[in-house]
């Protein structure tokens, strides 16, 4: 038995040695693969993280995969082939000519994978043989066993990771597609390509073609589920803290085709409605032209029963409050996607020895009010401690932490403004000498680092499945020069267990609201008259008005939900 155990341990060690030898072989002699205008040197990374990493001069592309087995990481150094100069000479530098076709890209990938496989196997075999042949110098009569052991170790080191890679690196297993730095400068690479193509010069050539490759890779590795038609799209924001960045938000709403904005609270800093008047936040919200769904945060009130900010927001035509007054909850349907939520019971400058108890009480009150009802697709609240105590058919949403995070069934939003003006600046700004010592940009002198600005775009399919969550991080917002630093596309299947089987959604369903009434209160609620009201959201820069129903208005139906 001990002899068998010893042989097993020796084989395991040899397998690890063979694996590292295969990795070293691909690192020392990377596989070269190319398309007409791009080339890549591909190697195996010494990790089992199921990640493909493409570092580039202007940013990185990172693709993470969810597989049943951990697969060896892959990395590829991408470069531009000299043939690009032919485009320059002929004046043919444009997106269409640079971007590789899907067949061309897939052919280059397949050829590279095959060569990586045999080079890895050869490196593993040579390494294990080298180790074992050194052993035979002392014991030459064990040569046959050495060859058998080397072969077994090579097979184990090759077949195991190879099978894992074969099963993992599939389009349907893509968990996240991420582009960093300049590659994520805008929300869609194709739009920046159009701009660069129109005025391309020698300095923009390298940037343009790498962005074209990034776009092609995104299309190749985007899961089929995220390519399905979008039935509803939501912009998720939180913790605006008194900063009127609604012109930027309006641009996002227009460019992304957003159906509704969901705000998880902390709209102001000190709980005073006049803060929004001073910074024109209320006009900014109205200018978005889409429903603005809101729950109160701990900075949005001055006492436990203060609802002044909620009353002020209720006067804005496109604002929909999920808890307009304490204990009264509203369900909002946007294109058939149901949304509910509850306010934070905390308030600005509150003193307490147990904030957790308050969050539990708020969550319990919401659960009592929704007892016996099917959970909505999205449930929104401000603090994570409360969000963790309620359930949703899709995901629960919260803000408060100023740091974006997610897990299955839950999305935590970052701060759309990095925590607002109060949290973004040192007062007074650093002196010139201190700025130089701290290596601060004079244009952003005094701006605190460490709270990235971020927002999410959630896309829902017609079967109420989550298609994708695209997460954007950016900086330089306060200085008026927003620059995207990071764009991550999360496969919606990693967030949602299963979509509801008996419902669908789509633009024809419009926007509908109804009070939430617990199932046991249905008899009492049945006497409540249903009131239908059409909400007309005026275009930007127009005075809001209530108008009679029109064919293209957004219908808002008020009635009890039972």
Token pair 């994570």: residue = 384
What 3-state class would DSSP assign to 287?
coil
Contact yes or no for 260/227 (Cβ under 8 A):
no
Pairing of strands 453-461, 410-412: unpaired
| pLDDT on residue 155 | 84
| pLDDT on residue 274 | 92
The answer to whether the Cα torsion of 385, 386, 388, 394 is positive or negative is: negative
Q: How many helices, marked H, and strands, marked E, lie in the chain?
A: 16, 22
Helices (DSSP H) in 99-202: which residue ranges? 102-136, 143-168, 189-198
| pLDDT on residue 483 | 59
Residue ranges of the chain with pLDDT lower than 50? Answer: 182-183, 185-206, 427, 522-534, 542-562
| pLDDT on residue 335 | 96
Pairing of strands 466-475, 453-461: antiparallel
β-partners of residue 526 are none
Q: What is the pLDDT of residues 76-87, one digit of tens each?
A: 887 766 665 555
Q: What is the pLDDT of residues 489-548, one digit of tens each?
A: 888 888 987 888 889 999 999 999 999 987 655 443 333 334 444 455 655 554 333 333
Contact yes or no for 71/161 (Cβ under 8 A):
yes
Angle at the Cα of 507 from the Cα atoms of 502 and 509, rounded to 5 degrees = 55
pTM over 0.75: no
Contact yes or no for 26/42 (Cβ under 8 A):
yes
CATH assignment of 229-558?
3.60.21.10
Most distant CA pair in the chain, distance: 97
Give the DSSP H or E segment for 237.
Answer: strand 230-237
Q: Where are the domains of the chain?
A: 2-221, 229-558
| pLDDT on residue 539 | 58
Contact yes or no for 185/208 (Cβ under 8 A):
no
Q: What is the pLDDT of residues 291-342, one digit of tens each?
A: 999 999 999 999 999 999 999 999 999 999 999 999 999 999 999 999 999 9
| pLDDT on residue 505 | 93
| pLDDT on residue 534 | 45
């Amino acid at each position: 038995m001990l002899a068998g155990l010893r042989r097993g341990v020796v084989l395991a060690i040899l397998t690890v040695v063979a694996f590292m030898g295969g990795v070293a072989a691909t690192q020392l002699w990377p596989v070269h693969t190319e398309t007409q205008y791009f080339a890549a040197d591909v190697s195996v990374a010494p990790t089992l993280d199921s990640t493909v990493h493409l570092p580039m001069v202007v940013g990185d592309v990172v693709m993470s995969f969810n597989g049943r087995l951990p697969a060896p990481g892959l990395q590829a150094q991408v470069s531009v082939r000299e043939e690009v100069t032919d485009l320059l000479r002929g004046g043919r530098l444009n997106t269409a000519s640079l971007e590789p076709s899907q067949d061309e890209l897939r052919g280059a990938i397949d050829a590279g994978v095959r060569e990586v496989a045999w080079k890895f196997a050869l490196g593993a075999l040579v390494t294990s043989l080298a180790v074992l042949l050194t052993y035979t110098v002392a014991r030459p009569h064990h040569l046959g066993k050495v060859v058998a052991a080397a072969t077994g170790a090579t097979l184990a080191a090759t077949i195991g990771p190879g099978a894992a890679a074969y099963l993992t690196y599939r389009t349907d297993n893509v968990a996240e597609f991420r582009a960093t730095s300049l590659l994520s400068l805008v929300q869609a690479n194709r739009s920046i390509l159009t701009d660069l193509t129109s005025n391309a010069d020698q300095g923009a050539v390298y940037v343009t073609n790498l962005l074209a490759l990034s776009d092609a890779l995104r299309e190749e590795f985007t899961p089929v589920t995220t390519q399905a038609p979008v039935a509803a799209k939501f912009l998720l924001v939180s913790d605006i803290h008194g900063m009127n960045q609604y012109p930027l938000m309006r641009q996002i709403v227009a460019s992304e085709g957003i159906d509704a904005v969901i705000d998880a609270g902390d709209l102001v800093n000190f709980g005073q409605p006049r803060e929004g008047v001073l910074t024109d936040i209320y006009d900014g919200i109205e200018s978005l032209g889409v429903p603005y769904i809101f729950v109160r945060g701990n900075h949005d009130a001055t006492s436990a029963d203060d609802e002044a900010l909620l009353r002020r927001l209720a006067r804005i035509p496109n604002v929909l409050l999920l808890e307009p007054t304490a204990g009264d909850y509203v369900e909002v349907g946007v294109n058939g996607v149901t949304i509910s939520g509850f306010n934070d019971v905390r308030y600005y400058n509150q003193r307490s020895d147990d904030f957790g108890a308050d969050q539990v009480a708020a969550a319990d009150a919401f659960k009592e009010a929704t007892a016996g009802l099917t959970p909505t697709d999205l449930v929104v609240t401000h603090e994570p401690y409360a969000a963790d105590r309620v359930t949703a058919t899709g995901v629960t949403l919260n803000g408060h932490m100023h740091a974006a995070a997610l897990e299955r069934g839950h999305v935590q939003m970052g701060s759309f403004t990095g925590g607002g003006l109060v949290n973004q600046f040192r007062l007074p700004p650093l002196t010139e000498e201190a700025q130089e010592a701290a290596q601060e940009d004079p244009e952003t002198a005094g701006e605190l680092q460490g709270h990235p600005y971020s927002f999410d775009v959630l896309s829902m399919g017609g079967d109420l499945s989550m298609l994708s969550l695209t997460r954007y991080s950016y900086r330089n917002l306060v200085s008026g020069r927003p620059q995207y630093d990071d764009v991550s596309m999360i496969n919606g299947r990693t967030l949602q267990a299963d979509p509801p089987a008996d419902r669908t959604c789509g633009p024809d369903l419009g926007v509908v609201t109804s009070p939430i009434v617990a199932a046991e209160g249905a008899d009492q609620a049945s006497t409540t008259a249903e009131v239908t009201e059409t909400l007309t959201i005026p275009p930007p820069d127009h005075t809001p008005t209530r108008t009679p129903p029109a064919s293209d208005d957004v219908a808002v139906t008020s009635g009890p939900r039972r």
